[in-house]
Amino acid sequence: MSTAILSPAHLEGHLAFDHPLSPRSHLADLPALARAFAHYDARDLWETDTRRLPRPLGRLRRRARAFAEAFIAPASAELDLAPHLPPGQVHPAAQRVLQAAGRDGWLSYFLPAPVGSMGLSCALHSPIWQCSLVVEEFARACGGLMLLLSAHHLGVMPLILSGSPSVIWKHVRPIYQSNLRGKPHLAAFAITEPGAGSDAEEGHGAAAYRPGVVATRAPGGWKLNGRKVYISGGDLAQSLTVFAALEGEGMASWTCFLVHAPAPGFTVARTELKMGMRASGAAELEFRDVFVPDGHVIGGLRQGWVLNRATLNSSRIPVASMGVGFAAAATEIALQFALSYRLGGRRLIDYQDVQMHLATMVAETRAIRSLVWQEARHAWQPRQLFASAAKFHATDRAQVVAEMAMDLLADHGAAHEARIERVFRDIRLTRIFEGTNQINRLSLIEDWQGELLAPRAQLGV
C-alpha cells in the first residue's frame, strides 16, 4: 500500500478518516434508515460511558471526576513520597483532602438527608453502584487517598447494615454531619487480627480459629482485649466497628462493637510502612480493657459474623471498581506515552504491535468496568458469589493492565514521576485486602455450593 495518499492525521497501518476506504466518516452518507442502525457519534470513551448511565449517576460520575482532579490527583505524588508519619498524625495535604471531601459529601453519601448527603435523584439506584462510580474516579487519581476515603465507608457499613434506625440516627448521622461541616470524622472497620486475615473472611477457617480480640462482660457493657492489624484509617478514625468474640466462645459469637477513639485502653500501636496506597494508614490497634457500653453493641450479640460477611458482600464490588480506576489510569498513561515518545524516528504508537498492546489494555479496562457496573447495578442485596467474582477478576486483570503499561514504558515506567509504578504498587494491595483473591475464589464456591450440590443441579453460568 502506498502511503502517499494518506494525510498526516493517521496512525501507521491505518487510513485517514477522509480516505474513501475509511468507514467512519462515510457512515453518515448511508440512507436514513441505515444511518439509524449504523452511524454513530464518536466521542471520548469516558464521556460515552457517562452518558449511558442513568442521568443522576452520570452527574455523580462527573462530580466525582471533578473532585478527584481538583483535590485528589494534585496531592497524590507528594503523599506517596512523604515520610511515614507516626500514628495519629495526618499529613496536611491529606487533611485538606479530607476536609474538602467531607464538605462535598464524599464521606456521607450512602444515605440521604437528614442523615447523609446522597442526592435524592440517586436514591433510586443502588448505593453500591454509586460508590463504585466514585471509587473508580478516586482510584484513577490516587490509590492512597482513595483508600483513605473509602475505608471510612467500610467502617460505617456495619452501622448501616445493622438495620437499626436508632443506630443510624445516633451513630451514623453525627459522623456524616460532622464531615459535611468540614470537620473530618472517619470510621474504620476492624476484623483482621495478627492470626486471622483469611480466617476473619471465610467461615471454614474461622470455625477452627481461636479469637484474638475478646469481649468480657462488665457492668453496663463489655471490655475488649486483644489486637487488630492492618486496619485502614484505624490511625485516624474516631469511630471503629470492631469485631470481637465473647469470652469463652468461638468465632460464632463474634459481635460488632462500636468503639469511639480516643478511649481509655485503646492505642494505635503503629502503622505499616507498606508498598503502596501510602496516604492511607494501615494501623495496628491495641485494646486493653477498652470499655464499650451495651448501647454500642451493633446488630446484637453474636450477630457479628453475619454482619461482617454482609459488609464484605457490599464492599467487594467497590473494591473491584478500584481495579477499574487503576486500569484506566494505567491505560491512559500508556496511551499518552505512546503518543509522545519517539523511537527510530517514529511515534511509539505508529508501531502496530504497540497498537495491539494498547487495544488489549483498552478492552481489558472496559471489560472489567462492564463487569463491575453489571454487578453494581443490581447490588441492592449484593450476592457473595457475584461480589467476590467481580473483586478477584477485576483486580487481577487490572494488575495485568498495569503490567502491560510497565512493559510499554520500560525504564520510563520505573521512574516515580511517570506514575505508573505507583499505580502498579497500589493495585497489588487490592488483591490482598477484603480477602485475598484466592479467598474470594473460595467465597464464590462457598456461596454457590448449595446450588452445585442440589439434586439435578442446573450448572448454568
Size of the site for ligand FAD (CB under 6 A): 23
Q: Which is nearer to ligand FAD, 137 or 193 (CB)?
A: 193
CB of 88 to ligand FAD, least distance (A): 17
Does residue 102 interact with ligand FAD by CB under 6 A? no
| Single residue of 433, 443, 444, 447 touching ligand FAD by CB under 6 A | 433
Which residue from 192, 271, 315, 395 is in contact with ligand FAD, where contact means CB under 6 A?
Answer: 192
Q: Which stretch, 230-238, 305-313, 341-349, 387-395, contacts ligand FAD (CB under 6 A)? A: 230-238
What is the DSSP track for 283-304?
Answer: EEEEEEEEEEEGGGEES-TT-H
Give the span between the Cα atoms of 349 and 337, in whole angstroms. 9
Closest by alpha carbon to 325, among 147, 101, 106?
147
CB closer to ligand FAD, 60 vs 159: 159
Q: Indicate the residue among 133 and 187 with the shorter CB distance to ligand FAD.
A: 187
C-alpha cell at 60: 455523580
Three cell numbers, residue 432: 490482598
Residue 227's CB is within 10 A of a number of other CB atoms, namely 18
64: its cell numbers: 466525582
Stretch that binds ligand FAD, among 159-167, 225-233, 261-269, 447-455 (CB under 6 A): 225-233
If one asks whether residue 142 binds ligand FAD (CB under 6 A), the answer comes out as no
SS3 label, residue 6: coil
Q: Is 438 in the site for ligand FAD (CB under 6 A)?
A: yes
At 234, the amino acid letter reads G
Query: 369 in helix, strand or coil?
Result: helix
Residue number, 233 or 357, with CB nearest to ligand FAD: 233
Considering the rule CB under 6 A, would residue 231 count as an interface residue with ligand FAD?
Answer: yes
Determine, following the binding rule CB under 6 A, whether residue 314 of this chain makes contact with ligand FAD: no
Binders in 201-220 for ligand FAD, by CB under 6 A: 201, 205
Residue 268 in contact with ligand FAD, rule: CB under 6 A: no
Q: Under a CB-based contact definition with an 8 Å cutoff, are residues 292 and 224 in contact?
A: yes
* Minimum distance from residue 435 beta carbon to ligand FAD (Å): 5
Among 230, 254, 266, 392, contact with ligand FAD (rule: CB under 6 A): 230
Q: Give the binding range for ligand FAD (CB under 6 A) out of 106-114, 196-204, 318-326, 414-422.
A: 196-204
Give min distance, CB of 204 to ligand FAD, in A: 6
Q: From the CA atom positions of the chain, what is the Rg in Å? A: 24
Cβ neighbors of 361 (< 8 A, separation 6 or more) are: 327, 330, 331, 334, 401, 404, 405
Can you read off the three cell numbers belonging to residue 271?
502503622
With a CB cutoff of 8 Å and minimum separation 6, the contacts of 417 are 77
Q: Which residues face 297 on adjacent strands? A: 257
Least separation in angstroms between CB 118 and ligand FAD: 23
Residue 90 identity (one-letter amino acid): V
Which residues in the 357-416 window bind ligand FAD by CB under 6 A?
none
* Angle of CA points 374, 327, 399, to nearest 5°: 105
Stretch that binds ligand FAD, among 92-100, 111-119, 190-198, 376-384 (CB under 6 A): 190-198
Instruction: Tell me if 189 contacts ligand FAD by CB under 6 A.
Output: yes
Is 103 in a helix, a strand, or coil? helix
Residues that bind ligand FAD (CB under 6 A): 151, 189-192, 197-198, 201, 205, 230-232, 274, 277, 282, 429, 432-436, 438-439
